[in-house]
Amino acid sequence: MGLEVGIRKRLKGFSLDVSFKNQGLHLGIFGASGSGKSMTLKCIAGIIDPDEGRIVLNDKVLFDSERNINIKPQKRNIGYLFQNYALFPHLTVEDNITISLNGKKEDIKPKLEEMIKLFKLEGLERKYPKQLSGGQQQRVALARAIIKNPDILVLDEPFSALDSHLKESLEVELFELLKTYNKEVVLVTHNREEVYKFCDYMVFLDEGKSIINENTKEIFNSPKYYSVSKLLGYNNISEIQYLTNNTLKATKWGISYKIETKLNDEFSFIALRDNELILNNVPISHGEIVIEVAVLDVIESINHYDLLVKNASFIQGDSISLKVDKNTIENINFKENLFLHIANEAIVYLK
Amino acid sequence: MEISPILISLKTATVATFFTFIFGVIAAKLVLDIKSERIKAVLDTVFTIPLVLPPTVIGFLLLLIFGVKRPIGRFLLEFMGIRIIFSWQATVIAAFVIAFPLMYRTAKGAFEQVDENLILAARTLGMSEMKIFFKILLPLASPGVLGGVILSFARALGEFGATAMIAGNIENKTRTLPLAIYSEVAAGNMNQAAYYVIVVLAISFVVILLMNYFSRKQITKGN
C-alpha cells in the first residue's frame, strides 16, 4: 500500500533521480527550490513523463518504463493542488469545483453543497477566482481536487502564494482539515516547519537526487547529511579532522576535543544544535566541551536572543550562533569571561 | 447606386470568416499538439505562407487547383457538377485562403498565452482533451481568437487580387466591393467609387467597434 516511486529523467543541465516509498500517511517531499520537488510531483500525476522507472500507488501501477505502462493523468485519480492553485479564471467558484463531474445539475448539487460546506465557501458560489482572497482560492482549489474522491492528494507548495501573516492561520486550518480527511497526502515544500508539523514521513531531495527517506522526526533529529542539515536549519557546521585517534578538531572554530569511540569513517562534518548550546560564566566542565568565547553580536528576536560567539583562542575562525532564552540571558554577565558548553546532545555528525 | 457589391462582399466575407474561424482554430490546435518540432515547423510554414505571398500568386495557385482542366477542378465538374472558377463560391475560396493565416496565427498565439498549468490542472481533474479544449482553452483564448476573427473579416472584405483571378469581376455575381471600386475608377466614375469606399470604411469601423466591445467584456470577467 501507499505511494512508491523510483524514476529518472534527464534534462538540459538537470537530472532527476528519485526513489522513495511512503511508509506513513502524510509524506513530505522536501528540498531547496530547484531540487526537483515539483517535477517529481508532476511525474506522479502524469503531466510530465519520466525517462524511466516505476510509479506505483496502492498496488496500481501508474508508470513502468519496462512494461511500457504510462497511465494518462486523467485516469490516475490524483488530486493535485497547484502552487498558484490554477483555478479557471473564467469560471465561477461552483463551476470550478464541479467541472470534473459529468452529469445533470441535480445530481451534482449535493456533492457541490457538501464541498461548499466542508471548505466554508458559503456565499461565494457565484464569485470568480479573482474576487477571492488567497485563502479562499486555496480552499476552492482543494474542493475541486477532492470532489472526485481521489486516491491520493498531492500539494505543491500550498502556502507559497500567501502572505506570511495569513500563512500561519491557514496552515493550522488546512492541516486540521487534511487530518480529518484521512487519506494519503503528499506535501511538497521547502519550509521545514510545514514538513515537521504535517508529515510523518519524508523524502529529502538535493539537486534532483533523493538523499534520505525516513520518518520525519528521525531526520530532524539526525539529518546525517551536510546538505540536509543546512536546509533543516542547522547553522553551525564545521569540517572535522583527526588530530590523534581519539582527538577531533572542528577546524572552522578551532575547537579540539576528545572522543571515546572512533567515529564512522563517512562522517566528515560536525554540526551543533543552536538551541542546545549553553553560555554562562562558569568554566567548569561536567564532561561536556567547554571553551572560552567572545561575544560578537546579540540580536533580540520575538521569543529569544540570537547570539554570535567566537572561540576566544581562535578569533580568526568562524562564529557559532546560539539561541538564548529571554529569562536566562539575565543571568549571564557579559562583562566577565564567557564560556560555551557543548554537551553531547548538541552535537550531530554529518556525511 | 448599385447595392449588389455591398451584399456580395458582406456575404463573401461572412462565409469566408466562418470557415477561417473553424479551420484556423483547428489548425492552430493541431500544430500546438504536434510533438515533433520538425513537422510543427513545416506545418506552421504551410499555414502561414499565404500571408507573405502576393494575392495574385495565390490566385494563380488556386487556378492550378480548381481550373476546369486540372484534376481537382475536372473531378468537381464531371462528377459533382460543380464549377468553381468564376462562381460566387470562388470569391469565398479566395477570401478564405488569404484570411486563413491571420486567423491561424492569432489563434495559435492566443492558445499559447493560456497558462499551461490550467491545462495540466484540467488533466489531473480527469477532464477529456475535448472537454478541456471547449471549456478551458477556447474560452480563455477567446479575446485573442476574436481578434483573429476581426482581422480575418477585414482581410476577407478587402480581398482583391486572388478574387479577380479565380472569380473574375462579374456584375451581380462575383463583383465584390474592392472589385467594384476598381471597376468604377477604371470607368472614370470617381463619385460612385467614393460611395463604395465610404461603405467599406463604415463596415470596417463598425466591425472593429463591435469586436472590441465583446473582447473587453470577456477580459473583465470577475474584476
| A90–B126 CB contact, under 8 Å | no
Q: Which three cell numbers stand for residue A146?
A: 477532492
Contact B76, B89 (CB under 8 A): no
| B222–A77 CB contact, under 8 Å | no
| A130–B127 CB contact, under 8 Å | no
CA distance A138 to chain B (A): 14
Containing H/E element for A29?
A: strand A26-31
Contact A348, A229 (CB under 8 A): yes
| A130–B120 CB contact, under 8 Å | no
Closest CA to A230 of A277, A187, A274, A271: A271
| B126–A74 CB contact, under 8 Å | yes
Residue B223, pLDDT score: 47
Q: Nearest-CA residue of chain B relative to A127?
A: B222
Identify the segments of chain B with pLDDT beneath 70.
1, 214-215, 217-223
CA distance B123 to chain A (A): 5
| A158 contact B CB<8A | no
| B125–A76 CB contact, under 8 Å | no
- Selecting from A76, A80, A131 the residue whose C-beta is nearest the C-beta of B121 gives A80
Closest CA to A216 of A233, A231, A230, A204: A204
Strand partners, A220: none
The Cα A127–Cα A350 span in angstroms is: 52
| B117–A86 CB contact, under 8 Å | yes
| B128–A74 CB contact, under 8 Å | yes
Looking at every residue in chain A, the average pLDDT score rounds to 90
Q: Which three cell numbers stand for residue A261?
A: 569511540
Strand partners, A272: A236, A347
CA distance B116 to chain A (A): 9
| B125–A46 CB contact, under 8 Å | no
| A100–B223 CB contact, under 8 Å | no
% helix / strand / coil in chain A, to the nearest 5?
Answer: 25, 35, 40
Q: Which three cell numbers stand for residue A132?
A: 477571492
The Cα B186–Cα B193 span in angstroms is: 10
CA distance B107 to chain A (A): 18
pLDDT tens figures, A95-110: 999 999 988 888 899 9
Q: pTM to 2 decimals? A: 0.83
Interface probe for B, chosen from A42, A80, A136 (most Cβ of B below 10 Å), is A80
As a whole number, mean pLDDT of residues A160-171 equals: 80
The Cα A42–Cα A154 span in angstroms is: 10
pLDDT tens figures, A131-144: 999 889 999 999 99
| A75–B136 CB contact, under 8 Å | no
CA distance A136 to chain B (A): 15
| B124–A76 CB contact, under 8 Å | yes
- Selecting from B117, B123, B135 the residue whose C-beta is nearest the C-beta of A99 gives B135
pLDDT tens figures, A243-253: 888 888 998 99
* Chain A contact set for B130 (CB, 8 A): none
Q: Which residues are within 8 A (CB) of A279 and not within 5 positions of it... i.e. 6 or more apart?
A: A293, A307, A309, A322, A324, A332, A338, A339, A340, A341
- Selecting from A45, A84, A90 the residue whose C-beta is nearest the C-beta of B124 gives A45
Q: State the Cα angle at B107 between B105 and B111, rounded to 5°.
A: 115
Contact A195, A122 (CB under 8 A): no
pLDDT tens figures, A239-280: 998 888 888 899 899 888 888 877 888 888 999 988 888 999
The 3 state secondary structure assigned to A89-111 is: CCCCHHHHHHCCCCCCHHHHHHH
Number of residues that this document lists for chain B: 223
Contact A23, A2 (CB under 8 A): yes
Stretch 66-105 of chain A: residues touching chain B, C-beta under 8 Å: 72-80, 82, 84, 86, 88-90, 99-100
Containing H/E element for A239?
A: strand A236-244
pLDDT tens figures, A48-96: 999 999 999 998 999 999 999 999 999 999 999 999 999 999 999 999 9
Q: Nearest-CA residue of chain A relative to B221?
A: A90
CA distance A289 to chain B (A): 54
Q: Which residues are within 8 A (CB) of A100 and not within 5 positions of it... i.e. 6 or more apart?
A: A144, A147, A148, B125, B126, B127
| A127 contact B CB<8A | yes
The Cα A135–Cα B103 span in angstroms is: 40
* Chain A contact set for B123 (CB, 8 A): 46-47, 72-74
| A144 contact B CB<8A | yes
As a whole number, mean pLDDT of residues A103-120 equals: 89
Containing H/E element for A203?
A: strand A201-206
* Chain A contact set for B125 (CB, 8 A): 99-100, 144-145, 148
The Cα A2–Cα A56 span in angstroms is: 8
Task: Read off the pLDDT band of A172 (50, 70, 90).
Answer: confident
Strand partners, A55: A5, A63
ipTM above 0.85, yes or no: no
CA distance A98 to chain B (A): 10
CA distance B132 to chain A (A): 10
Query: Domain extents for chain A?
Result: 3-225, 236-350
- Torsional sign, CA B191, B195, B200, B204: positive
- Selecting from B115, B135, B222 the residue whose C-beta is nearest the C-beta of A128 gives B222
The Cα B26–Cα B159 span in angstroms is: 23
* Other residues' Cβ atoms within 10 Å of the Cβ of residue B81: 7
Q: Nearest-CA residue of chain B relative to A145?
A: B125
Superfamily of domain A3-225, CATH level 4: P-loop containing nucleotide triphosphate hydrolases (3.40.50.300)
| A74–B123 CB contact, under 8 Å | yes
Contact A53, A8 (CB under 8 A): yes
Ordered domains of chain B (ranges, CATH): 4-56+86-219 (1.10.3720.10)
Residue A266, pLDDT score: 84
Q: How many CB pairs under 8 A join A and B?
A: 65
Residue B178, pLDDT score: 95
Residue B216, pLDDT score: 72
| A46–B118 CB contact, under 8 Å | no
Burial of A280 (0-12, 13-18, 19+ CB in 10 A): middle
The Cα A310–Cα A291 span in angstroms is: 10
* Chain B contact set for A42 (CB, 8 A): 120
Q: Sheet harboring A69-70: ordered strands across? A: A69-70, A60-64, A52-57, A3-11, A14-21, A209-215, A201-206, A26-31, A185-189, A152-156, A78-81
